[in-house]
C-alpha cells in the first residue's frame, strides 16, 4: 500500500471513530444546557485533554514546527504561552467561573453592569474570535492536504463536516470525549516521530546544521515574543471555551487541577516540536515552512507518516469542535435566549444551534482557504477579543469603582485601537496587545468621572468567594 492510499484509509477510519464517539454521547446533549456544559460531568481527563487539545494542533504542532525552521528553539514560545495560559486560567478564573455557575461571561456582565452594551459586545464579537480560532486550526490541515495531492478545499469541507456532525450529536461532551481520543493519537504520533528522530541521528544533525544562537530561547525580538505570548496568555481570561470547560467540570477541584496540570504536556510538546521542526529544516532547507510536512513524507515510514497526519488532524478538530460549542453559547444562550426569545423552546434552540454551527463552519473554511499563516491568524483573533472585553471583565472583578460607562468606553476605545492597528492604519509597538492600554486608561478615567448605577453589582471575587464559603458552611 503506497503512502497516499495509506493516509486516505487512516484518515477515513479516524473520521469514522470520531463520528461513533459523537453518536455514543447523545445522552449528554438532550437539552441545550447539557449541550453547552456537558451535563456538568467532565472529569479530570476530559478537562486536561480538552485544554491540551485546544492548543496542541495547529498552533503547538504545526506553528511551532514552522517557526522552529527560522527561529530555532525560540519557536517554542507559542507552546510555552499555551501552557502559561492554562496556569493563569487555573489560578485566576476556574473557581470564579465554577462558583458563579457561569455558562459565558455574559452571565457575569449582566450581574456586574447595568444595560446591555457589554453583554451584546462580548456575545457579538466572541463568535468572530471563535471563527478565527477555528479557521486558524484548519489552515494547518490545508497544507497537509496539498502535500498529499488532495484538493485542499475538498479536504477542508470533509474535515469541517465531520466535526460538525459529532459536535451537533453530543455537544460539549462529544467535543471532550473526542479530545481524549485525539490527544492520545497525537501524543503517540509525536512520540513515535521523536523516537525516529533520535534513532536517525536527528539531534546531531540539528546541532550541526544550526548556529549556536538558534539554541537560545531568548533569541527573538520583543515584538515577536509579545505576539506569541501576550494575546495567548491574556485571552484565556476572556476565552469562551475556557469558561465552558471550567463550568462543565464535576467538581471545583477538577476544574482547577485539570487546567493547571495541562501546562505539563504543552511545555513538553513545545520542546519536542521545536527539535522536530529544526530537524525538518536541516534535512529539507528548500521546503521552508513546509519542512515538517516534507520530513513526514520523505523521512518517516509510511505508517508513521499516516499516524502523524491523523494526529495533527485530530488536534485541529478538537480545537475546532470546542470553538463551535463556544459560538453556540454566545449566540443561542446569550443573544437569542437572553434578548430575542427568552422563552425559547428546546426545539428552537437546537435548530438555531445547527444553523449557527453550519454558518461558522463555512466561515472557518473560507478563512482557512484565504490565509496561510496559522499563528498570525490566531493572534489576530485573540487581539480582537481582548481589545473589547478584557478590561471590562477584569476591571469589574477587581475594582469596585468601575462603572458601566467606564466599561463601555474601554470596550469602544479598545476595539477602535485594535481595528486601526490590525489594518495597518496606525503602527504601534506590541500591536498584538497594545489595544489593552488605551482600554485601561478609558476604563479608569471614565469610571472616576461617572457614578454607579443603582442596579450595578460591584462585588469582587473575594466577596463572591466569601459568600460561597459561608453558604457551604451553613449547609
pLDDT tens by residue, 156-179 = 887 788 777 767 766 666 666 667
Most confidently predicted of 20-24, 138-142, 353-357: 353-357
What is the pLDDT at residue 447?
94
Alpha helix (H) ranges present in 329-435?
Answer: 346-370, 374-398, 404-422
Of 277, 276, 231, give the one whose Cα is nearest residue 382: 231
What is the pLDDT at residue 140?
67
Q: Kindly tell me the burial class for residue 462, based on how many C-beta atoms sit within 10 Å of its own C-beta (0-12, 13-18, 19 or more).
A: exposed
Query: What element of type H or E holds 282?
Result: helix 263-283
- pLDDT cut 70: percent of the chain above it: 83
C-alpha cell at 338: 437572553
CA distances to 82, 88, 400 from 99, in Å: 25, 17, 19
What is the pLDDT at residue 100?
87
Class of domain 14-385: mainly alpha
Q: What's the whole-model pTM score? A: 0.77
Contacts of 70 (CB under 8 A, 6+ apart): 281, 289
Mean per-residue pLDDT for 66-90?
90
Mean per-residue pLDDT for 339-351?
84
Residues 12-68 have pLDDT tens digits of: 787 777 777 766 665 555 555 555 555 566 788 888 887 887 777 666 777 788 889
Mean per-residue pLDDT for 395-400?
90
What is the pLDDT at residue 87?
94
* Poorest-pLDDT segment among 220-224, 430-434, 449-453, 459-463: 459-463
* Poorest-pLDDT segment among 47-61, 251-265, 278-292, 341-355: 47-61
Residues 403-450 have pLDDT tens digits of: 999 999 998 898 889 888 877 788 888 877 888 899 999 999 999 998
* Poorest-pLDDT segment among 116-125, 182-191, 371-380: 371-380
| Mean of per-residue pLDDT scores for the chain | 80
Of 10, 102, 129, give the one whose Cα is nearest residue 384: 129
Residue linked to cell 492600554 = 437
Q: What's the rounded Cα separation, in Å, for the pair 360 and 328?
A: 10
Residue 42 three-state SS: strand
CA distances to 123, 149, 423, 424 from 103, in Å: 12, 42, 33, 35
Q: Domain residues of the chain, as ranges?
A: 14-385
Query: What element of type H or E holds 253?
Result: helix 252-260
Amino acid at each position: 500500500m503506497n503512502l497516499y492510499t495509506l493516509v486516505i484509509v487512516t484518515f477515513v477510519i479516524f473520521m469514522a471513530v470520531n463520528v461513533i464517539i459523537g453518536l455514543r454521547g447523545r445522552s449528554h446533549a438532550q437539552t441545550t444546557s447539557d449541550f453547552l456544559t456537558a451535563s456538568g460531568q467532565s472529569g479530570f481527563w476530559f478537562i486536561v485533554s480538552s485544554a491540551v487539545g485546544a492548543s496542541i494542533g495547529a498552533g503547538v504542532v504545526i506553528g511551532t514546527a514552522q517557526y522552529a525552521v527560522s527561529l530555532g528553539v525560540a519557536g517554542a514560545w507559542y507552546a510555552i504561552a499555551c501552557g502559561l495560559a492554562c496556569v493563569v486560567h487555573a489560578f485566576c478564573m476556574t473557581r470564579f467561573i465554577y462558583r458563579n455557575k457561569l455558562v459565558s461571561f455574559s452571565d457575569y456582565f449582566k450581574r456586574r453592569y447595568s444595560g446591555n452594551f457589554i453583554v451584546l459586545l462580548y456575545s457579538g464579537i466572541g463568535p468572530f474570535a471563535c471563527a478565527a480560532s477555528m479557521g486558524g486550526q484548519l489552515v494547518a490541515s490545508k497544507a497537509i492536504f496539498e502535500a498529499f495531492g488532495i484538493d485542499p478545499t475538498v479536504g477542508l469541507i470533509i474535515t469541517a463536516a465531520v466535526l460538525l456532525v459529532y459536535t451537533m450529536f453530543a455537544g460539549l461532551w462529544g467535543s471532550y470525549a473526542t479530545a481524549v481520543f485525539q490527544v492520545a493519537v497525537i501524543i503517540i504520533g509525536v512520540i513515535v516521530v521523536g523516537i525516529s528522530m533520535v534513532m536517525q541521528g536527528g539531534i546531531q544533525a540539528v546541532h550541526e546544521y544550526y548556529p549556536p544562537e538558534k539554541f537560545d530561547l531568548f533569541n527573538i525580538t520583543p515584538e515577536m515574543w509579545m505576539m506569541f505570548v501576550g494575546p495567548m496568555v491574556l485571552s484565556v481570561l476572556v476565552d469562551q471555551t475556557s469558561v465552558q470547560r471550567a463550568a462543565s467540570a464535576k467538581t471545583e477541584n477538577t476544574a482547577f487541577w485539570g487546567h493547571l496540570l495541562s501546562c505539563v504536556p504543552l511545555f513538553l510538546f513545545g520542546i519536542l516540536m521545536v527539535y522536530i521542526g529544526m530537524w525538518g529544516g536541516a534535512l529539507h532547507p528548500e521546503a521552508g515552512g513546509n519542512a515538517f510536512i516534507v520530513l513526514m513524507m520523505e523521512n518517516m515510514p509510511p505508517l508513521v507518516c499516516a499516524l502523524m497526519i491523523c494526529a495533527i488532524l485530530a488536534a485541529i478538530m478538537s480545537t475546532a469542535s470546542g470553538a463551535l460549542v463556544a459560538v453556540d453559547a454566545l449566540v443561542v444562550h446569550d443573544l437569542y435566549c437572553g434578548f430575542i426569545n427568552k422563552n425559547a423552546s428546546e426545539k428552537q434552540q437546537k435548530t438555531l444551534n445547527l444553523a449557527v454551527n453550519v454558518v461558522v463552519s463555512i466561515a472557518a473554511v473560507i478563512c482557512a482557504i484565504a490565509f496561510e499563516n496559522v499563528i498570525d491568524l490566531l493572534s489576530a483573533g485573540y487581539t480582537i477579543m481582548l481589545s473589547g472585553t478584557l478590561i471590562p471583565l477584569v476591571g469589574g472583578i477587581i475594582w469596585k469603582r468601575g462603572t458601566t460607562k467606564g466599561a463601555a468606553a474601554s470596550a469602544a476605545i479598545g476595539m477602535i485601537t485594535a481595528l486601526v492597528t490590525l489594518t495597518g492604519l496606525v503602527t504601534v509597538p506590541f500591536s498584538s496587545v497594545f489595544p489593552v492600554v488605551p482600554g485601561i486608561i478609558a476604563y479608569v478615567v471614565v469610571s472616576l468621572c461617572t457614578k454607579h448605577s443603582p442596579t450595578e453589582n460591584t462585588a469582587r471575587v473575594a466577596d463572591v468567594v466569601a459568600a460561597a464559603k459561608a453558604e457551604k458552611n451553613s449547609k
